[in-house]
Amino acid sequence: MSIKLTFELSTLGDLEFFVRALGAAVPAPAPTEQAQEATAPSTAPSVTLEELRAELNALSGNGKRNEVKALLSQYGASKLTDLQPEVYDEVFNAAKEL
């Protein structure tokens, strides 16, 4: 079913009134499967490999190379690319504390 309505509103107050009235009259649609997937928590890291690399390189350049190597080994990695993406955030946060 399709309904087409045309309204002529002369002020912002008219528009606000219309939106409030329409919102009260129309029930919220049920969430779709796609919307539920969009709101599901993401397991993707918020820190990218490049951001992590920049942070670790800066630390290494500031004389903390041994600490960086120890941090990587705590996560079972001998080099940055050995890290699993799931731990990028943790490693980044730990690096900020060094």
Contacts 24+ apart (CB under 8 A), 19-26: none
Q: What average pLDDT score do residues 23-46 get?
A: 63
Model-wide pTM > 0.75: no
| Model confidence at 21: pLDDT above 60 | yes
Exposure string (b/e) for 49-76, b if CB count within 10 Å is 16 or more?
A: eeebeebbeebeeeebeebbeebbeeee
Distances, alpha carbon 52 to alpha carbons 1, 31, 36, in Å: 52, 36, 30
| pLDDT band at residue 20 under the 50/70/90 scheme | confident
Among candidates 84, 26, 14, 30, which has minimal Cα distance to 52?
84
The pLDDT value given to residue 35? 58
pLDDT at 57: 93
Higher pLDDT, 8 or 66: 66
Q: Is the pLDDT of residue 2 over 80?
A: no
